[in-house]
């Protein structure tokens, strides 16, 4: 079937040189400078947690660096999800969502066993500070990752956004736990984990918003029925 002359003219007018995207894992490295700031920012603004001698370098910085690196990897997974045709399977998405949560739980348990510090007073106030501080720290990573993801035109923006929001939450919590004075699991697995979940939700909403601003409507979600006009439906 020949291509209509009008369509050929529109395609010719739209031709322009483009720069191919690098691999998602290489693009995720662009988040590393922000991750470094998130890892060290709270310590410069406030202080290192007072039980740092009990935890040692590995328990304070080692675990946080590992968690932050995992966050960058999850952002890379989100950037791969953003590429049409390279989306993750349901099982892989479940894995990418569960491993970060399991990591936070494991880090919390290890820290608690090495240095149990209870939160005895002003529970809600401290929880609010940790929640707000960690969630706010994640926002720069969410904003930057949403721009990187939007460049690939994700066909499932909510999934991609949830993944890079989760990665951003991991990165932010990795820095915030170096400052937080309390290792009590009921505090960490409520306030800190809630901030990570909030970052995940914000990431999904940000990705949907970015696609909405660009006016993207994916053909995968709008199949053309037999007999329907095949011209550009964006007119």
Name which of 31-35, 56-60, 179-183, 223-227 the model is least confident about.
223-227
179-213 residue pLDDT tens: 999 999 999 999 999 999 999 999 999 999 887 76
User: Hey, which bits of 51-141 come out as E strands?
Assistant: none
Determine phi and psi for 157, rounding to 5 degrees. Answer: -60, -35
pLDDT digits 0-9 by tens, 95-132: 999 999 999 999 999 999 999 999 888 889 999 999 99
Q: What pTM value is reported for the model? A: 0.82
Q: Measured on CA atoms in the order 144, 145, 148, 150, is the torsion positive or negative?
A: negative
Q: Give the integer Cα–Cα distance in Å for 76 and 72.
A: 6
Q: How many helices (H) and strands (E) does the chain have?
A: 10, 0
Supply the mean pLDDT for the chain.
Answer: 86
Please state which of the ranges 45-54, 170-179, 218-227 shows the lowest mean pLDDT: 218-227
Contact 36, 140 (CB under 8 A): no
């Amino acid at each position: 079937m020949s291509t209509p002359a009008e369509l050929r003219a529109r395609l010719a007018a739209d031709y322009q040189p483009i720069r191919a995207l690098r691999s998602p894992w290489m693009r995720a490295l662009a988040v590393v400078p922000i991750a470094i700031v998130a890892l060290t920012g709270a310590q410069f603004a406030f202080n290192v947690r007072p039980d740092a001698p009990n935890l040692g370098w590995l328990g304070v910085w080692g675990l946080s660096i590992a968690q932050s690196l995992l966050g960058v990897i999850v952002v890379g997974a989100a950037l791969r999800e953003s590429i049409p045709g390279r989306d993750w399977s349901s099982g892989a998405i479940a894995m990418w969502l569960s491993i970060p949560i399991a990591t936070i739980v494991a880090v919390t348990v290890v820290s608690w066993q090495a240095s149990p510090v209870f939160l005895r007073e002003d529970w809600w106030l401290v929880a609010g500070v940790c929640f707000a501080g960690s969630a706010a720290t994640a926002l720069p990573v969410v904003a930057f990752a949403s721009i990187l993801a939007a460049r690939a035109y994700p066909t499932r923006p909510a999934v991609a956004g949830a993944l890079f929001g989760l990665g951003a939450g991991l990165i932010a919590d990795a820095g915030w736990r170096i400052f937080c004075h309390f290792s009590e699991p009921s505090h960490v697995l409520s306030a800190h984990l809630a901030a990570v979940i909030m970052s995940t939700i914000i990431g999904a909403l940000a990705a949907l918003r970015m696609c909405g601003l660009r006016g993207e409507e994916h053909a995968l979600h709008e199949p053309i029925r037999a007999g329907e006009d095949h011209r550009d439906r964006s007119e």
